Chain A
């Protein structure tokens, strides 16, 4: 169970204070998939990094399983938007990196990595190098790397944001299938796309921006297991449309505010 309690984060940028998050509070039940979604600047990535233990909150606390998050740990794994693979290492070494960090000897970690590469559909590509792979395939390596360390919590930072629309679609459905069939771990997923969030998550946390804060927490009403057909159903389209409009409105308001020369510290 992840609990975010009154978390605020203030960055100092060139001497000026920048409030990235203000008093964010919500909870994620174990085994659920939730999305953080909101316009640019709403702090969703910052929040995710705090859950990962890479950034400390200025105020408030994040607890996982009852214990406060103080740094990175073996119970969580990140998947990055830009894949962040080692360009000079092959796919197998990359997938095994998290395990290597854990201290596993070579034979064991390569076995585990191989197994996970198979799960994400990259069996046979172990000796390839990242630059030889498409974006979608590179991200699969990133996912395999994260799954290989068997974390309790999966943290994904706009993992499909760098991919083209078609690949993104494929990846979304593959992730859905993978998560439902095998992983079913607690997952926090940051995205820009409401369609993505509605397809994959049990719960959507809508965030507003400047300063970043929780606007609404919405339950996604579609039963599991979900499949491809869901994306075509009217219920889904209506649900997504309504929330997308909300999102759009938030973004427009924010743009208007910044054009009026609004300062960073809104009341």
Chain B
């Protein structure tokens, strides 16, 4: 990793025209500049609001629908062609649809984030639940355990690893959705900054901005991973 950074630095310095490959140093400077700029923080605030709405709703809806569909094989078979279609689709092409439907307000932007996260969570949850084999379900029935209890004590914990993994991956997707939303929807958030820096060829600021997006993504994923490990602590492996 360090080797890569050093290589980058050397390459960048060797270029006379530094427009496209700012040195690590100037990127770091750019980062500092950004952090001190109030525009930067406003932009992030405006971007994070739709992210949070979209993210939370996609997680909740995905798990809910996933649980229902996982338990009810008939329902799942009915909707699975659609899920498969949306899973194979590049979700970004749905953005113009959202624009037509909702304009470019908060609802539209949240829905973009939602779409990115939802299908992943749904799929993982369904798989997690349906993997609780029929054997185990028969076993709970043979002991006279009611379906609600069986769900709470057996099915849900058993599906947890898959659900948590789905939430983690779904969060990653939601972050992607947030960036896509910023890039494709004329917005007042980070996207606007991106356009500005590109137009002005402020490469170091642009890179620094992208780095902040990357950091955001990494932090979100790390947080989800922590949560996953906490919930699954009975697993006992690292």
Q: Give yes or no for direct A-B contact (beta carbon below 8 Å).
A: no
**What residues of chain B have their CB less than 8 Å away from a CB belonging to chain A?**
none
